[in-house]
Amino acid sequence: MRSRSLRLLPLIVLLLGLVPFLLPVRAAEDQARTPITGKAVPRLRDLDQIMLDILREHNIPGGSLAVAKDGRLVFAHGFGWADVENKKPMRPALRFNLASCTKPVTAAAVLKLVDQGKLRLDDKVFALLNYIKPPPGAKVDPRIREITVRQMLHHASGLARDHGPLREIARSLRVQPPVNVAQATAFNLGKPLLFDPGTESKYSNLGFLILRLVVEHGSGQEYEKFTAEHVLKPMGIPNAHLDRSEGYWPNEVHRYAGGKCLRGGHGEFRGGGCWVLSTVDAMRFVTSLDGTRGERVLSPRAFREMVAPLPSLGKKATERHNGLGWDIVQSSPAGVHFSKNGGIAGIATWIEHLPNGVCWAAFFNGNLKGESNEGESKSKPAGKRPWPLIRAALGKIDNWPAHDLFPAE
């Protein structure tokens, strides 16, 4: 047995020596099968292979990755397919349903109204929305009246995670579907809070839907119109809109789940859709927030509020906490780190700002193995989560390109 092992040793050494040559061959084969679009950036070519590996491992048709450094767009590539049936390659400028990455956009709209003097973060939400009434005969939890805008932005309102079944809402309010955000809010006024406002932080999609009504109250415009005109367009993101109730916008990628293309849109919920933006748009958004690109749309004070912890929870800025619309925030002498993920059927999104002036967004038109549509871990076997892989690769770069792709995109 020992002599046989010794005879095999030269072959093993030979094969190990070929590994460095086989890896580029695999990369070339991946790229031949899977289209990559966008300006080539040789210095950041490792990001291409990481994205190709993610598509293959999670069986996702396509994805997009954009990276900015100190306010400059240094990388923007599309990978795979935006529309499998019609063989349309993914391109950096194509837009995705953001899913819960919509929440930082909503937070920015609220903060814009604060900058304009039309709203205060410590205003009581249901004093502003006093036209919304609970269902007939419902008992209202008195603590609901104490919820502030700030608490709602921090997921500290005590409201339920979600609005509840739309058919039950319609039946309770005696209205015909589709249900709208105001009606979903009215229905939930009859539900008890999970905790005293400001004492805990538990994720609430419902709270961020209600914040759309706060934006409408403060601005006198529809949520979508005000946010597009006063937040996104000044950031260099024109023609932004929420997803359609059904189907796709012309520049929107198709979503895939269970091996089939989904019909798109947000179904029977009026005004409850998500923003549709590209990864490049996400970089315009974040570099405007942090002040590294052009004139800031939000004031420095509003940005500080966005990344500060909720005072009543007793956390310091140097401790990990959530911000206004951001799931993870942590400050250090090097800068501030904040990020947000999102997920619905056929979509996985991530936006992140690192302390060293690097920010990035990775969007996919499929779901990740081992995660729910909300981006949370499930009991199913998981593949390698893409976000740490991309972050680790960005952390190894010490010689950033000097170009700026924003004008071209």
Least confident of 21-30, 34-43, 302-311, 356-365: 21-30
d(CA 291, CA 22): 44
At residue 385, does pLDDT exceed 90? no
Q: Give the type of residue at 228.
A: A
Least confident of 109-123, 214-228, 358-372: 358-372
At residue 320, does pLDDT exceed 90? yes
Residue 5 placed within a domain: no
Q: How confident is the model at residue 77 (pLDDT cuts 50, 70, 90)?
A: very high
Pairwise pLDDT comparison (177 vs 306), residue with the higher score: 306
At residue 332, does pLDDT exceed 80? yes
* Signed CA dihedral, 235, 294, 37, 257: sign only: negative
Cis peptide before 178 (omega within 30 of 0): yes
Residue 30 placed within a domain: no
Q: Are β-strands 275-277 and 96-97 bridged in parallel, bridged antiparallel, or unpaired?
A: antiparallel
* Class of residue 28 by CB neighbours under 10 A (exposed 0-12, middle 13-18, buried 19+): exposed
d(CA 196, CA 142): 10
Residue 59's alpha-carbon distances to 34, 368, 369, in angstroms, are 12, 8, 9
Tell me what the mean pLDDT of segment 61-87 comes to: 98
Residue 256 placed within a domain: yes
d(CA 257, CA 260): 6
DSSP category for residue 141? P
Q: What is the pLDDT of residue 374?
A: 58
Tell me what the mean pLDDT of segment 242-255 comes to: 95
Q: What is the pLDDT of residue 219?
A: 98
User: Tens of pLDDT along 204-213?
Assistant: 999 999 999 9
Q: What is the pLDDT of residue 380?
A: 47
User: Tens of pLDDT along 196-242?
Assistant: 999 999 999 999 999 999 999 999 999 999 999 999 999 999 999 99
At residue 99, does pLDDT exceed 80? yes
The percent of residues above 70 in pLDDT, for the chain, comes to 89
The DSSP bridge partners found for residue 344 are 347
Strand positions, DSSP E, 62-172: 62-69, 72-83, 88-89, 96-97
284-318: b or e for each residue (b if 16 or more CB lie within 10 Å)?
bbbbbbbebbeebbbeeebbebbbbbbebbebeee
User: Tens of pLDDT along 127-163?
Assistant: 999 999 999 889 999 999 999 999 999 999 999 999 9
Q: Would you say 126 and 149 are in contact if contact means Cβ atoms under 8 Å apart? A: no
At residue 311, does pLDDT exceed 80? yes
Domain enclosing residue 75, as ranges: 62-118+222-408
Q: Domain containing 81 — which CATH number?
A: 3.40.710.10
At residue 8, does pLDDT exceed 80? no
Residue 11 placed within a domain: no
Would you state the structure tokens that stand for residue 292, as one six-digit string?
Answer: 């590294």
Tell me what the mean pLDDT of segment 42-67 comes to: 97
Q: Would you say 111 and 298 are in contact if contact means Cβ atoms under 8 Å apart? A: yes
Within 10 angstroms of residue 409's Cβ, the number of other Cβ atoms is 20
At residue 60, does pLDDT exceed 90? yes
Q: What is the pLDDT of residue 275?
A: 98
Number of domain units in the chain: 1
Residue 131 placed within a domain: no
The percent of residues above 90 in pLDDT, for the chain, comes to 79
Q: How confident is the model at residue 176 (pLDDT cuts 50, 70, 90)?
A: confident
Tell me what the mean pLDDT of segment 23-27 comes to: 42
d(CA 322, CA 158): 15
> Which residues contact residue 98 at a Cβ distance below 8 angstroms, ignoring those fewer than 6 apart?
105, 274, 275, 276, 277, 342, 347, 349, 363
At residue 379, does pLDDT exceed 50? no
Q: What is the pLDDT of residue 373?
A: 60
Q: What is the pLDDT of residue 16?
A: 45
Supply the mean pLDDT for the chain.
Answer: 90
> Which residues contact residue 335 at a Cβ distance below 8 angstroms, ignoring those fewer than 6 apart?
354, 355, 356, 357
Would you state the structure tokens that stand for residue 282, as one six-digit string?
Answer: 């996400």
pTM summary value = 0.90
Q: What is the pLDDT of residue 18?
A: 43
d(CA 252, CA 357): 29
Residue 382 placed within a domain: yes
Residue 364 placed within a domain: yes
Q: How confident is the model at residue 376 (pLDDT cuts 50, 70, 90)?
A: low
Residue 85 placed within a domain: yes
